[in-house]
Amino acid sequence: MGNRGSSLVDSRTVEIGKCDGKTFPDNRVISYKYTIWNFLFKNLFEQLRRVANFYFLCMGLIAAVLPDSPVTSWATLFPLIIVVTVSAIKQGYEDYRRHKADDKINNSLVTVVRDGVAQEIRCKKVCVGDIVKVGADTDIPCDLVMLISSHPDSKGYITTANLDGETNLKTVECPIDTDLNVDHLSHLKGTITCEPPTVDLYGFHGNISLSLTQGEGDLEPYNPVFVKDGYPMETLHGDSCRGRHRCSFSKIHFLAQREYTAPLTATNLLLRGSQLRNTEFVFGCAVYTGKETKLALNSTLTINKFSTIEKSVNKFLLFFFILLIVEVLSSVLLAFGFERRFGRPDKWYLGPMESVTVKDVLNDIFVYFVLYYYIIPISLYVTIELQRFLGTFFFEWDLEMFCNDQPAICNTSDLNEELGQVQYLFSDKTGTLTENDMKFRRCSIDGSMFVETRGELMLLPPSGVLPTQLPISCWPPEVEQFLVAMALCHAVQTRGEMCGQVLPRDTNRAPEYQAPSPDEKALVEAAARCGVIFLGTEGGYSFVSIRGLIRKFKKLQTLEFSSDRKRMSVVVSDSDDQVWLFCKGAESTMMPLMVSGHREETIRHYTDFSMRGLRTLVLGLRRMDTGEYLRLAHAMRVARSTIDATSREASLNEVFNDFERNLHLQGATAVEDRLQDRVPETLELLRAA
């Protein structure tokens, strides 16, 4: 397929399972600058951009055209050729290493499904539309929309350290939560309509349409694609659907021989350069390949940069060039002045003196230029190039620059000296100046302040002084509801299988948590220590152990966090089919949404937390009736299905605001993120440097 007509100028359509290698670029990684065909001309152009090289080229040409040059042109051009050749060899060797690295990636084997058959092909031959398999702990070969995951909740986990430097696990979801498996890929049909390639790593919008044609391996006995959803077009009431694919949902609707459309967001996109973790495998459809991937668009090659030293050298060259001009003009003036004053009667062999012409003046000027041009050393650049080239080996040999037995790799030596030239230092706080190890310290619940000590919430007096803390013998409903909100309102996942057993409270045993942010992990772990343990998710349900009693909540909606909203929410239904919205976020955005609760006391408490250097979040909730939820959920689906990014964001924000209103103030949390060792002294030294 490809980019369509005028109605879809700003989108592209991809047929799932159909390789389109003509309309879109191939999947080659290209980090090199030169090829065999353009190396000579491109490298020569880049080297002649250097002031000294261009200067010596001009001097050589002048010496070649002068009728009585004091030196031959080869005496000038030959050293220049040597200098340019040495630099070209160095840059060619570095580019050869880039070619080898690219070949290693481009020729790596990738499993794709074409014409219903799984086959291994070279990574560079992956096309837009291919269904690609990615195994655990392997790199994503191109930008993929995830279709199938080995995870029971149709999710996958990735690290994006190579893209944005973040080491936390991020969750990626299948856009349509189905019970599909590998057997269905040969019968899977559909299209993806999405935005054209952009550099935004965190933005992606589009729609996906899927259908499953009847064939061997389809689900039994109805041959449907089972889709979990809050608003089925056709529902089949029952507790289970028996077959070899093990699907069990309270409400299911099937789409045999029918197309189903779902919106696409950044949470459905696997980016090239990221790595799959804690997931056995995923299958995805390639939507961006090669130079159109977000990684490639953020790694655009540029022409050679000038380092700080080279810029300084150019300034000195300008000074010496001015000095050269002064010497040349002085010599020309002195020569003509001497001849006019003293003449040359005794130099009969030079012939009689003639009147001075402009041609004579220009000839003498160029002669003196050629005579004095060595004031600028011709070996200047080659010396710098050799020093840089040898310096790369010291980087690679430096044991302190090893990372997990992997040495540092210098792809280019042109900017070696820039590593020590720091003029401005930009730094965030979390994880850079701090340990990024969050510890839950205090909280405010229903107007009262608490501190967590050894898995117990302890009530503090208004002064907040620790010695007079009072233990709680039994939980008020507000405390339990607050801890349940901490255990449900997050994007945390458990490592491995969901822990479905009853966990004794006194042992504080809880699953190992993985979170997109350490703040969320700290809150979930704190709730677990206090007896409200998030056990994990399975089949669209979140399981929570509350003082030994396991309860399940159906997760209906997640209102994602954004830097503009500064909050996130989850909508769940409990065992009584009551719908609840739990919301948490910064006090600046949360407090205007509150219509009930202990407002003044909570403000006083989180102000006290902030004065102690703790990170604060405000929690709120509201109960929703089923009719309101159905209306807003339908509006959410319509908003998410909008392809235009601006319209989608505006529509989603409007729906989010309708969800997150008239909240009841539950309280606030306080988490400590301690400074790393000797941070104050380091900042003082940096300021003084």
Which phi and psi angles does 455 have, rounded to 5°?
80, 10
Q: How far is CA 562 from the centre of its chain?
A: 15
In the numeric block, the tokens 């007079």 are attached to: 468
DSSP class of residue 128?
B
Task: Name the strand (E) or helix (H) holding 453.
Answer: strand 448-453
Task: Name the strand (E) or helix (H) holding 566.
Answer: none
Q: Which neighbouring-strand residues pair with 47?
A: none
Q: How far is CA 674 from the centre of its chain?
A: 26
| The pair of three-digit structure tokens given for residue 421, joined into one six-digit string | 């030239």
CB-CB contact of 689 with 620 (8 Å):
no
- Is the bond preceding 476 in cis, omega lying within 30 degrees of 0? no
- Which residue from 681, 251, 91, 675 is spatially nearest to 431, judged by alpha carbons? 675
Q: How far is CA 423 from the centre of its chain?
A: 25
Which phi and psi angles does 322 have, rounded to 5°?
-65, -40
Q: Rounded CA gap, 534 and 301, in Å?
A: 47
State how far the alpha carbon of 161 is from the alpha carbons of 142, 166, 301, 649, in Å.
16, 5, 21, 26
**Positive or negative torsion for Cα 297, 299, 304, 310:** positive
10 is a catalytic site residue: no
What are the DSSP calls for 650-684, one per residue?
Answer: HHHHHHHHHHS-SEEEEEEEEEE-PBPTTHHHHHH
- Which residue from 618, 442, 616 is spatially nearest to 526, judged by alpha carbons? 442
CB-CB contact of 230 with 255 (8 Å):
no
Which one is catalytic: 68, 346, 405, 428?
428
Q: Rounded CA gap, 631 and 544, in Å?
A: 28
**Angle made by CA atoms 308, 310, 312, in degrees to the nearest 5:** 70
CB-CB contact of 314 with 48 (8 Å):
no
311: Cβ–Cβ under 8 A, 6 or more apart, which residues?
Answer: none
CB-CB contact of 523 with 532 (8 Å):
no
Strand, helix or coil for residue 451: strand
Q: Rounded CA gap, 475 and 489, in Å?
A: 20
Q: How long is the chain? A: 689
Strand ordering across the sheet containing 131-135: 117-122, 109-114, 131-135, 281-288, 143-149, 269-270
Q: Which residues are catalytic?
A: 428
